[in-house]
């Protein structure tokens, strides 16, 4: 006996709801399991830090990443504001790196779908350097960087 149309819709819906809950569950548990990795934050060269984080993955330079509030010239390297936002879909992680800092990785944000891709922070910068933001979304890595001239270093 074929199922009635109503029953079919009901079961299809419950499967859809189950899938939705299950996938958001995976994302949330990803956040619960995310942990601080010493190697990522240890003093090292920028190249080695990138390799620790992403091995040999390729980066896509993207105009869909916006770095606002990050000044071209920072008079005080001990507190440099940055706001990262993006129109990329399904962003999972945001990495903020300062190329010339002794420990290049400043912060890694793991985001759930409950938040917009928009985070602000304040960085220490030892000297004039590129600030590189890498966004992980749908298994790809997107990059945007901006040079910040530091007048007085912040002993990062």
Partner 1 sequence: MSSIKIRTKRLDGNTQIRTLITHPMENGRHKDEKGKLIPANHIQVLRVELNETNIIVCHMAGSISKNPYFDFLLKGGNAGDKITISWVDNLGKADSNEHTIK
Q: Does 156 contact partner 1 by CB under 8 A?
A: yes
The pair of three-digit structure tokens given for residue 154, joined into one six-digit string: 């912040």
Binding test (CB under 8 A) with partner 1, winner from 1, 4, 5, 36:
36
- Residues from 57 through 116 that contact partner 1 (CB under 8 A): 78-80, 83, 98, 101-103, 105-116
Is 107 within 8 Å of 96 (Cβ atoms)? Answer: yes
Q: Does 50 contact partner 1 by CB under 8 A?
A: no
Q: Does 153 contact partner 1 by CB under 8 A?
A: no
Cβ-based neighbours of 151, under 8 Å, separated by 6 or more: 73, 74, 75, 76, 77
Phi, psi for 27 (deg, rounded to 5): -65, -45
Is 67 within 8 Å of 86 (Cβ atoms)? Answer: no
Q: How far apart are CA 40 and CA 55, in angstroms?
A: 12
Binding test (CB under 8 A) with partner 1, winner from 3, 10, 51, 122:
122
Binding test (CB under 8 A) with partner 1, winner from 119, 128, 141, 145:
119
Binding test (CB under 8 A) with partner 1, winner from 67, 74, 124, 150:
124
Is 111 within 8 Å of 62 (Cβ atoms)? Answer: no
Binding test (CB under 8 A) with partner 1, winner from 41, 46, 54, 59:
41
Which positions touch partner 1 (CB under 8 A)?
28, 31-32, 34-37, 40-41, 78-80, 83, 98, 101-103, 105-116, 118-125, 154-156
């Amino acid at each position: 006996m074929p199922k009635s149309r109503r029953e079919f819709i009901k079961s299809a819906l419950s499967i859809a709801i189950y899938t939705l809950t299950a996938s958001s569950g995976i994302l949330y548990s990803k956040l619960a399991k995310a942990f601080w990795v010493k190697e990522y934050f240890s003093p090292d060269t920028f190249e080695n830090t990138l390799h620790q984080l992403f091995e040999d993955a390729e980066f896509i330079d993207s105009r869909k990443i916006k770095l606002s509030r990050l000044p071209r010239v920072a008079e005080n390297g001990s507190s440099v504001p940055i706001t990262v936002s993006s129109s990329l879909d399904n962003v999972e992680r945001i990495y903020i790196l300062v190329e010339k800092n002794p420990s290049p990785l400043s912060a890694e944000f793991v985001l759930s779908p409950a938040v917009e891709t928009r985070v602000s922070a304040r960085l220490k910068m030892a000297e004039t350097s590129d600030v590189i933001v890498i966004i992980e979304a749908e298994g790809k890595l997107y990059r945007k960087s901006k040079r910040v001239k530091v007048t007085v270093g912040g002993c990062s």
